[in-house]
Copies of this chain bind each other. A is one copy, B any other.
């Protein structure tokens, strides 16, 4: 018996509000690290739809390492994202950070994200699973493949309609990049376990100049899609500016993807 029977039987495609992640079309998820204002997210959604994105991402609740950093606009930001996405034919992917918020996030989002710091927060996995929504499960900073698959198993056991995995870089020892992108894990999940995987090169590298080559590499390794931070004035971003692309840079990048997926 497999130690992760539900994940292994899930199959290579997870459907999210009509979009088949793992199917023929690349799942492009883009948007700002933090939702900073209603106006910002509406303008962003328009540009991202034009650039080829299918999902609007953005942080409503921001789990910052320091309690003294900006913590997000919370529930209000969820409604802004929902309306902005609906106005431009996008789906919403955003993070649930608390058991008590899980229902509210699930109500507004098409795909509920579990962040890397909560990958083994079992209370949250159960609460999000019980909403019945599909989930984007980010890998913890030093999770083994087995631990990651088992966290997906928790979600499916408790009711999630599907699990999409997201590799966002693991803890490395080199300070030239923020984290260490593990595309071997992407190839393994995609080609051996046959589950859909999204890659987040923005968090993985923390630097704009490496996003394009690593985005292409992720697709070549088997990724079903990409999550890319965008901001139209990266110098003024409230968080993670140095790794954000402008939406026109994103559009240009998407134009280089042809033929990358196997």
Q: Which residues in A have some Cβ–Cβ distance to B below 8 Å? A: 3, 63, 65-68, 97-101, 117-124, 140-147, 150, 153-154, 157-158, 170-177, 180-185, 187-188, 190-192, 204-205, 209-210, 212-214, 216-222, 256, 258-260, 262
In contact, A142 and B142 (Cβ under 8 angstroms): yes
Question: Told that A142-B170, A146-B176, A187-B214 touch, could you supply 18 new A-B pairs with CB distance under 8 A?
Answer: A3-B66, A65-B120, A65-B147, A67-B158, A68-B153, A98-B99, A117-B121, A142-B171, A142-B173, A171-B173, A172-B173, A173-B173, A177-B184, A190-B213, A192-B209, A213-B262, A216-B220, A220-B260
- What is the bound-complex CA distance between A175 and B173, given in angstroms? 9
In contact, B123 and A98 (Cβ under 8 angstroms): yes
User: Which of A122, A145, A204 is most buried by chain B, counting CB atoms within 10 A of its CB?
Assistant: A122
With a cutoff of 8 Å between Cβ atoms, the chain B residues found around residue A98 in the complex are 99, 123
12 A-B interface contacts by CB (under 8 A): A63-B120, A65-B146, A67-B153, A99-B99, A101-B123, A117-B140, A118-B120, A121-B121, A180-B184, A187-B213, A187-B214, A191-B210
